[in-house]
Amino acid sequence: MKLTTTRTVKEARGFLYEFLNDGTVAVVGGNPGLVGKQEIPSHFEGYPVVKIGRGAFSSSHLTEIIIPSTVEEICDGAFYWNTLLTEVRISTGVSVIGDRAFAACPNIKTISFPPSLKSVGELAFHKCINLSKVNFNNGLETIGDFAFGGCPALKQVLIPESVTEIGKSVFFDCERLMSISLPESFLKLSDGLFYKCTSLENISLPEKLEIIGQWAFKDCTNLTTITIPGFVYDIGTQAFDGCTSLTEISVLPVNSHYNTWKGALFSNDMKKMFRCPEGIKGSYEIPEGVERVKKGAFDNCSKLTSVSIPLSLKEIKGSAFYGCSKLSKITVKSSNTFFTTNDDMLFSKDMTKLIRCLGSKRKKIEIPESVTEIDEFAFAGCAKLETVKIPESVNVIGENAFEGCIGLINISLPDSLTEISSRLFFGCKNLVSVRLPSNLVKIGDHAFDGCKQLKHISIPSTVKQIGHWAFSGCQCLQQAEEVDSSGDSDRPAGSSIFES
């Protein structure tokens, strides 16, 4: 037997009310004539109004709203997409503001929270594009993901000491945010917290901070310096990527996990190099004792011209130098037993692995016969490169190896190669033709994504797997002879390799 519940909804003075099971009332909407400035009644038929219901005034024509002290919760989407709403007065009593409660209200300029407020939901004020000032009160405990994301007019924020949790990307794309004060007891900066806060110039991190999430300061283009506190033990990937003005990452001496040298971030024992700030100019000498340079360590250091590799270094990837458009020289200590350079290229000592090509202005490159592996990102961003001769000795080419080689017109891959790795030719927008290896087994995800001029490709019968979006964005591709996705093929039948 199917049980049904009925809602008891009544209307009075333009407001719609619903009686709740605990003897209280929620305002769940208003009739079409409810416009302009309105004050929500504190009681209805003698019962207290404790909630503003889910989507109650979404897309309405209110210009100003006054919320009484009896209300405890503003539910999800309660005032979502109110394009005329300019002022909101929230009385003491409200403890919860739900997800998207005031999202996409473009004319709200300021908001003050009462001391009773404990929680601000996800996307609560997302895309409130004219919100310039937020007044928090002590008592607030949590702020949800993207709560103030996309609020470009927001300039200054003071977060009270009572806050214990701030969600992901809370201030994402707040492009005018210049200063923010965080609680000293705060332990974690969430992922993407200040992503694209392009006006943020400096920030004092809390003394007890332990974790800086991935992308926490990504694309903060005006951030010049930052100091890592003593208790930080985890800094996420790309935490400072896109900080083009950052010239120094300093670390307090008491920190037992991280260290710094000439502005760059290292492990405490100075054996691992994590990040060189993107604003560093000229040359950089990796200090003696460093054994590993981590992936992306020099990413987009566009003002860097040369790097010196010490005797101690044992590991470095081609991806470490992605986006270093002015890097023209890498020197290796002659006594280093792991690396060598030859003709503007960084190799393993035995010349079997090509790690990175520095010839950003070179049009033609011939890879030595000794090479068996081309590292990931090895030629990425070599915009003037037109032709590459790859010997038959090469049997491995890493992901993104030719990404962004916009001058590359045609290429012949050796028959020794059995796999085209993911994003291998991503964004090679002038690539017209490719000769695939006769023994090819796999074409990776996005392998030719964005190759706008690619017109024809013959896929050998040996191919068993074609990755997702392998040929996405290949607008001129007229013919692709691909194997039937049956038998032992790993590609699901009917999936498109041309999806975009």
Task: Go through the domains of the chain in sequence order and give each one's CATH number.
Answer: 1-181 (3.80.10.10)
Distances (CA, A) of 405 to 206, 408, 422, 427: 43, 6, 15, 7
Contact status, residue 38 vs residue 66, Cβ threshold 8 Å: yes
Instruction: Read off the pLDDT of residues 264-303 as tens digits, 9 standing for 90 and up.
Output: 999 999 999 999 999 999 999 999 999 999 999 999 999 9
Mean pLDDT (whole number) for 467-485: 77
Q: Which long-range contacts (CB under 8 A, 24 or more apart) does 9-18 make?
A: 10/44, 10/45, 12/44, 13/41, 14/38, 15/40, 15/41, 15/44, 16/56, 17/44, 17/49, 18/53
**CA 232 – CA 251 distance, rounded (Å):** 9
**CA 247 – CA 110 distance, rounded (Å):** 35
Mean pLDDT (whole number) for 349-374: 92
**CA 264 – CA 298 distance, rounded (Å):** 10
Q: CA 365, 378, 221: angle at the middle one, nearest 5? A: 120
| Residue 158 per-residue DSSP state | E
- pLDDT of 361: 74
With a cut of 80, say whether residue 148 has pLDDT above it.
yes
* Residue 444 pLDDT class (50, 70, 90 cuts): very high
For 218-247, letters b (16+ CB in 10 Å) and e give bbbbebebbebbebbeebbebbbbbbbebe
Q: Can you name the residues that pair with 465 across neighbouring β-strands?
A: 442
Averaged pLDDT score across all residues of the chain: 93
Contact status, residue 41 vs residue 64, Cβ threshold 8 Å: no
Helices (H), 235-360: none
Q: Can you name the residues that pair with 412 across neighbouring β-strands?
A: 435
Structure tokens at 170: 């809370």
With a cut of 60, say whether residue 41 has pLDDT above it.
yes
Mean pLDDT (whole number) for 33-48: 96
With a cut of 60, say whether residue 500 has pLDDT above it.
no
- pLDDT of 343: 85
With a cut of 60, say whether residue 102 has pLDDT above it.
yes
Structure tokens at 339: 């690396």
The pTM (predicted TM-score) of the whole model is: 0.90
Instruction: Read off the pLDDT of residues 157-171 as tens digits, 9 standing for 90 and up.
Output: 999 999 999 999 999
Instruction: Give the strand order in the sheet containing 442-443.
Output: 419-420, 442-443, 465-466
Structure tokens at 489: 């093929």
